[in-house]
Amino acid sequence: MIQLAQGNIVEQDLDAIVNAANSTLLGGGGVDGAIHRAAGPELLEECRTLGGCPTGEARITAGYRLPARHVIHTVGPVWYGGSRGERDLLRSCYIKSLDLAAEHGLASVAFPSISTGAYGYPIESASAVAITTVKQWLEDPRSVTLVRLVCFSEEDYEVYEGLVSGE
């Protein structure tokens, strides 16, 4: 099932939370900064061993001091206006993150709104990609049964809610 929530993703007590990282996987601002601060320095140490991650792909680490057992780091596309494959890359972030969770036998995963902060992807189209991609992925039963989409702001939550209730 898909759930919507509003708040800080670092507080989510699920099997994994997803990080909207950059391709170095060495930390940054936004949700990435919040996750690294809450997880503690061991997270960065493990990330250093991974050698980065291309846009549209995902990598998994432990969650350290977070309530979540794992962090799945994915790298969303920078928005250039929509003509540089942004939609397919964003879709791939959700699919690859969920595939990785399933490979590790995880049951519950929380996502932030990938690419819609520093990377500039418009929230209206990014939320539609997030919801349709996750719904499609869940149609084929695997270990993941709960996906929670966590919006940081009230405004973003309303956009997501409008899409979910409008279907």
Applying CB under 6 A, does 10 fall inside the site for ligand AR6? Answer: yes
Closer of 64 and 119 to ligand AR6 (Cβ): 119
SS3 call for 46: helix
Applying CB under 6 A, does 56 fall inside the site for ligand AR6? Answer: no
Of residues 90 through 109, those in contact with ligand AR6 by CB under 6 A are none
Mark the segment that binds ligand AR6 (CB under 6 A) among 31-39, 52-60, 83-91, 94-102. Answer: 31-39
Which pair of tokens denotes residue 109?
A: 């995963």
Angle at 81 between CA 118 and CA 54, to 5 degrees: 55
Applying CB under 6 A, does 54 fall inside the site for ligand AR6? Answer: no
Label residues 65-97 b or e (16+ Cβ within 10 Å = b): ebebbbbbbbbbbebeeeeeebbebbbbbbbbb
When binding is defined by CB under 6 A, the residue of 9, 53, 71, 149 that contacts ligand AR6 is: 9
Closest by CA position to 73, among listed 15, 22, 37, 39 = 22
Applying CB under 6 A, does 31 fall inside the site for ligand AR6? Answer: yes
Report the distance separating Cα 108 and Cα 128, nearest Å.
Answer: 21
For the window 143-162, what string marks contact with ligand AR6 as x by the rule CB under 6 A? -------x-xx--x------
When binding is defined by CB under 6 A, the residue of 2, 5, 30, 132 that contacts ligand AR6 is: 30
- Which DSSP letter does residue 79 get? P
Provide CB contacts within 8 A for 23, sequence distance 6+: 52, 53, 54, 55, 75
Applying CB under 6 A, does 77 fall inside the site for ligand AR6? Answer: no
State the residues that interact with ligand AR6 by CB under 6 A.
Answer: 8-10, 20-22, 28-32, 34, 76, 112-119, 150, 152-153, 156
